[in-house]
Amino acid sequence: MMEAANVFSRNIQAWGAEKQTQLAEARILVAGVGGLGSTVAEILVRSGVGTLIILDSGRVDEPDLNRQILYTRDDLGKLKVDVAAQKLSAIHGRTTIIPINRRLEQDASLFEMLWHYNFQGIADCFDNFSSRFVLERLLTPDLFLVHGGVQSDYGQITTIKKNMTPTLHQLYAAMDDARAPLPVCPQIVCCVGALMASEVLRNLWRTPQLLNTLLIVELSDFSFSKIQLTP
């Protein structure tokens, strides 16, 4: 196996050996390995996060190929978690990938199974509100959830913590899942996914930037704005 000091030498130059060690000991649940999840998971692996639990029940299909960077036409029809686990594991071999091919639903046994992995935080990469609202129920006061969402060339990111920030239910109480697939361009997925991964790292280092703050990204005019949220 390659030496961690070599693989992550540029990371260590950027943020130091102590933070790199913290990442090596970290465990993150990536909920959804579609567009956002593919980008988030790959960046977390390349950053040196020690364990990723990836949760998804989908298979790769043709419309995924415009924005889901872990997949190619050779993967069509395959389970996303299987393909993602294989490709993420091949990057440098220093991240343990735990694939879970399940649909998230309100199920006590599934929650217990997920909690068994002792993750410190969650990356919400789902593309529907019903799954996000169930995902939020996994939160305990000790955990963080980095939420991201995209549509067309627009996106948003925030950190959710139980009893410290508004919940996803409160932020999106009036939202329903779309009946038809939403328009999404590849550049907003990669941009928001990279920002989500950065916020996951900052949460692991206990320096979150988007606690009680919603970051809005508009690629139509290259604008970034922040909305302060009331707990």
CATH number of the structural domain spanning residue 91: 3.40.50.720
Query: What does the CA dihedral 165, 168, 170, 176 come to, rounded to 10 degrees?
Result: 170
Which residues lie closer than 8 Å to 26 by C-beta, 6 or more apart?
A: 49, 50, 51, 120, 204
pLDDT tens-digit readout, 13-44: 999 999 999 999 999 999 999 999 999 999 99
Query: How far is residue 227's CA from residue 210's CA, in Å, rounded to a whole number?
Result: 10
Indicate the average pLDDT of the chain.
95
Q: Can you give the pLDDT at residue 30?
A: 98
How many structural domains are present in the chain?
1
Q: Which residues span the domain enclosing 101?
A: 4-228
Which range is least confidently modeled, 37-46, 62-71, 178-187?
178-187
Backbone angles phi, psi at 184, to 5 degrees: -145, 130
Per the CB < 8 A criterion, the answer to whether 41 and 17 are in contact is no
Q: What is the pTM of this model?
A: 0.96
